[in-house]
Amino acid sequence: MLDTMRRPLQDLRISVTDRCNFRCGYCMPKEIFNREYQFLARDQLLSFEEITRVARILVEKGVSKIRLTGGEPLLRAQLERLVEMLAFDDVDLTLTTNGSFLSRKAQVLADAGLTRVTVSLDSLDDDVFQAMNDVEFPVAGVLEGLEAASAAGLGPIKINAVVKRGVNDHTILEMARHFKNTSYILRFIEFMDVGHTNGWRLDDVVPAAEILATISAKLPCEPVEPNYTGEVARRYRFLDGTGEFGIISSVSQPFCGNCTRLRLSAEGVLYTCLFATDGSDIRAILREGASDEDLASFVDTIWKARTDRYSELRSSQTSGLDKVEMSYIGG
Ligand code: SAM
Ligand code: SF4
Ligand code: SF4
């Protein structure tokens, strides 16, 4: 199944909740995501059975990787039950988490069939990290989660660090040094204009070239070939010692040409781009009793009509669009 730019459907990101216990300013700024904010109600969320049904159909359509995300996916009760239901043969089943519940949950998730985890950690400097998550969550809590995930065999573990100018860019090198010579794969992510509440400005983006220059000035490294077509991070290997890191440059070097991702929101809306302003409600037809054939043809129509390449078209006009929030669509 190919879209209008001949891109196949290969990856599915499933948001299991729009809620989170962190308030990272680049994703869920406290001023907006406060007590008055209307999060999804329980009955609006897809059930595990509904998610599994949609996922199964998408796997038949070519999806070979499923990532559970949110919001904070580990806030969804009994997530391990969903993991068990989604552990299809030949599908890579992963999870992106802020790591705060990982020390408690890693083993049970691994036992249920999760293959890997990606953990977000923006800085090793406690003051910087706590200011970024805005709920005073300590670095040590995430490091404990990383250890638990590693002990449970959920590797190779990727670590996502969003870089924001003047906020944590001075701690990039410390992060690279810390994870060099380990099996953790650190990935720096350019701050993106997802959603419409994070006050994104191009001036706050530290371009990939600058991140690379900062690291390579002290830690010599060389580019590594992508693991597969469509890999979003550009990879680099340390020359002195072992280990690698990556940079995800959605802003300065867009990669829409290889984008094979479809997103399913927690309430069952399918989105063909992270920067979408609208999507297609599959929950409605699921709850009206659609057959598997109906669902398959619904997905077929959506993917075949797909024209998205937001990051290649980004401008001061597009960044002000009423895009859906990252915490809702699933990062
Ligand atoms: N709560 C989980 C977490 O933080 O890992 C999963 C959901 S979160 C939306 C997924 C990823 O998106 C995280 O690694 C986060 O750092 C990243 N992210 C969120 N907002 C972003 C932004 N504006 N620009 C770049 N990355 C962002
Ligand atoms: Fe929560 Fe993840 Fe968004 Fe931070 S990036 S607010 S941890 S959903
Ligand atoms: Fe894919 Fe949209 Fe990101 Fe381009 S902007 S890589 S189409 S999600």
Q: Whose CA is nearest to atom 7 of ligand 3?
A: 309
Structure tokens at 195: 């959603």
CB 69 within 8 A of CB 15: yes
End-to-end CA distance of the chain: 23
Atom of ligand 2 nearest to the CA of 133: 4
Tokens 């059930």 correspond to what residue?
47
Tokens 């860019």 correspond to what residue?
169
Cα atoms in the 13 Å half-sphere on the side-chain side of 125: 13
Does this model's pTM top 0.95? My answer is yes
Q: For the chain, give every domain's residue range.
A: 11-329
Among 102, 118, 189, say which to mutate for ligand 1: greatest number of ligand atoms within 8 Å of CB. 189
- Give the pLDDT confidence score for residue 317 in this predicted structure: 81
pLDDT in tens, the chain (331 residues): 999 999 999 999 999 999 999 999 999 999 999 999 999 999 999 999 999 999 999 999 999 999 999 999 999 999 999 999 999 999 999 999 999 999 999 999 999 999 999 999 999 999 999 999 999 999 999 999 999 999 999 999 999 999 999 999 999 999 999 999 999 999 999 999 999 999 999 999 999 999 999 999 999 999 999 888 778 899 999 999 999 999 999 999 998 999 999 999 999 999 999 999 999 999 999 999 999 999 999 999 999 999 999 999 998 788 789 999 999 998 8
- CA–CA separation, 250 vs 248, rounded Å? 6
Q: Where are any strands of DSSP class E within the chain?
A: 11-15, 65-69, 92-97, 116-120, 158-163, 185-190, 221-224, 234-238, 244-248, 261-264, 269-271, 280-281
User: What CATH number belongs to 11-329?
Assistant: 3.20.20.70
Rounded distance from Cα 18 to ligand 1 centre (Å):
12
Q: Is residue 161 in contact with ligand 2, taking CB distance under 6 Å? A: no
